[in-house]
Structure 1
């Protein structure tokens, strides 16, 4: 997540011949058995200047903003308080583990939507932007398709050779330090099923992100596709889509069923062309620009992106004169502003031992 909006992609350019074939073995699974013991809650001031109050673990649990719904992880926004003066309550969680390369597979049933909402699933390293940022899912307001963005320090220009033909060329001519890293290099998608209301209408799907020394890429597999079923461990399309957590954030008596765990190994070369891929090469040394990345799920409100472009959004600007005004006065509008996560799986490259983990890293609170 970034100050002026981002969304990133991971990758293997196997189809385009940029990478050698890689096979991955499962190293970590975050789901309803361990999610909240594996992530920290950030409850400081919003670095993106939003109309939001991020809650501690205790606060989020007490107000039912975080918890387990059946065997899924729920992260949401307060949709009951009328006219909060300092911002609407929400959540931002950061993984305790940091990673260096690997394959990350997120099975998500529902994502936050609505005017004033700025959801993101992203990765970042310490001393931003020196260790890079990868925005996998991100958008604002009534946006209908995903944008995928990288942010780096100077000296990193990427190409998008090998991306899906319908995905836009990289912004900023591929300079991932554009705007001193705030803008980064971004590629917009065109499929309305991979983001927002369209994503939720089909029960979500799987985002697969690969980070190697050669490229960073992302694939999306919609719910019900063969790839989604295989990677998620869910055979079929019928999944709970509840809006209220019932089990708090202590995973007592939670059992997660999986009929197709994909724990025996995953090979991205079978997946076809990535949705977006960022190729490094001679113009960007990926290893020196991306390191020790922590995983983040958050739901920002208004602020430096959603708030700045609120008046330019025909749907949202018709509802209120400013983003802050709308968010404060319309609590019920945020009942649909939640993540519902089946699992996030982390895989290690068998050959190189990528997805190297650190016990912890210093979290960046500036984006």
Structure 2
């Protein structure tokens, strides 16, 4: 039924851009989160989800380790971040899950690469891989990977203070849902781009063996690439300590500095990985009913724990590259989070873009 809605794209004023890639610079490896020490330099939120009103408790590092919600698999060496899929949650309580952010932050002149073999999906599930400065909206936010419930396409976006717009993007054939990144405009929608690749999210992503997400925060603009496992450039599969983004081809999404002065609107970013349940986005009735039946909380969160067998990230690594002195050392940004009002305001339109390709 979602294909019938595709005809409404023109009436929503959505645009598709297909242009050639821009020049880029070389970056050197500055941080490698991988192997047995993957979790050593992340901050665990250790609080119930008071950020997006999710029916979830983000557990501490010790609880995550003891309950196997955040661990490094001894066989593959991959990091696993997951929702509790073994406990029967009593009524009026929340299900345990994980939200982590890097202790260090990364400034303009940085590239971060996330190698993912599996991403969370399923009814009530709301995963995200993103970054943010400590005092949102000051300093900006970059959403590299996000979706809810049973959607099949990843969306990317920026959220900033007033004055940042997507103008003349250098990006592949991706759906542009909105171009004003200002958190005060368009009910806090932000400037959102949808990936048409059906393997960019959910079951299809995992069935294809996953892939890598590359996010470049540069003075020339912000760019995101997604490569399916079979198409990962050799520069990543060879574990090179230096990368040149000009070799990656056209970005999946791009916000040039001509419309948004990156040095003005973006401060050093903490990288964040989280999975919440229901909440302002996934649990909104009009959003939930688009791809799922029943009630988000009663049928899923406190339902059979096996519902969450696919609600996990499996990561080979997260690597950060820099073109200079771009690492800001610190104790992390455990308290960083989307405000509930902000999330609710943009979530409905965000989902619509995901559904056009179904």
RMSD: 2.1
Q: Which runs of 5+ in 2 are unaligned?
A: 1-17, 339-358
Structure 2: how far apart are the matches of 1:221 and 1:207? Answer: 7
Q: Is the 8 A contact 1:116 1:310 kept in 2?
A: no
TM superposition score normalised by structure 2: 0.83
Q: Which residue of 2 aligns with 1:93?
A: 100
Equivalent residue for 2:322? 348
Give 3-state SS (helix, strand or coil) of 2:175's partner. Answer: coil
1:132-281 → structure 2 map (5 Å cutoff)? 132-159=140-167, 161-165=169-173, 167-171=174-178, 173-179=179-185, 182-227=188-233, 229-231=234-236, 233=237, 260-263=238-241, 265-281=242-258
Equivalent in 28, 34, 38 of residue 37 of structure 2: 34
Alpha-carbon displacement from aligned partner over 1:154-185 (angstroms, at most 9, x marks no partner) = 221222521112x11241x3333245884211
Tell me the secondary structure at the aligned position of residue 176 of structure 2: coil
In the alignment, the residues of structure 1 paired with residue 47 and residue 188 of structure 2 have an alpha-carbon distance, to the nearest angstrom, of: 20
- Cα distance in 2 for partners of 1:190, 1:262 equals 29
The aligned residue for residue 22 of structure 1 is: 25
- Asked if 1 retains the 8 angstrom alpha-carbon contact of 2:20 and 2:171, the reply is no
Q: Would the aligned equivalents of 2:124 and 2:288 in 1 still touch at CA under 8 Å?
A: no
Distance 2:168 2:120 in 1: 28
Change in 2 beyond 3 A, CA 1:93/1:181: farther
The whole-number CA distance in structure 2 between the counterparts of 1:362 and 1:136 is 18
Call closer, same or farther: CA 1:99–1:115 in 2, change over 3 Å. same
What's the CA shift for 1:354?
5.6
- TM-score after normalising by structure 1: 0.81
Contact 1:53 1:86 in 2 (8 A): no
More helix by share: 2
Aligned structure 1 segments of 4 or more residues deviating by more than 6 angstroms: none
2:301 aligned with 1:301:
no
SS at match of 1:33: helix
Q: How many residues align?
A: 316
Q: Does 1:117 align with 2:125?
A: yes
Q: How far apart are residue 335 of structure 1 and its match?
A: 1.1
